[in-house]
Amino acid sequence: MKSMKALLAALSVVTLLSACAPEVGSEAWCKEMKEKPKGDWTANEAADYAKHCVFN
């Protein structure tokens, strides 16, 4: 029972944290990426930025 409560608490935290990130391609996401140092971008982030924020 104790491990079940710990698992539910961990899942709740993960759900809350994942809901904080803006959707890829949204205006908020583009702004966030523009402020993030280019050296910290992943290849997927760079491709998504080009697709949604530059060529859109």
User: In the predicted model, is pLDDT for residue 9 greater than 90?
Assistant: no
Q: What is the pLDDT of residue 1?
A: 82
- At residue 47, what are phi and psi to the nearest 5 degrees? -65, -45
Which of the four pLDDT bands, split at 50, 70 and 90, describes residue 11? Answer: low
What pLDDT is attached to residue 5? 80
Model confidence pLDDT, tens digit, residues 31-54: 999 999 999 999 999 999 999 999
Q: Which pTM was predicted?
A: 0.62
Cβ-in-10-Å burial (0-12, 13-18, 19+) of 49 comes to buried
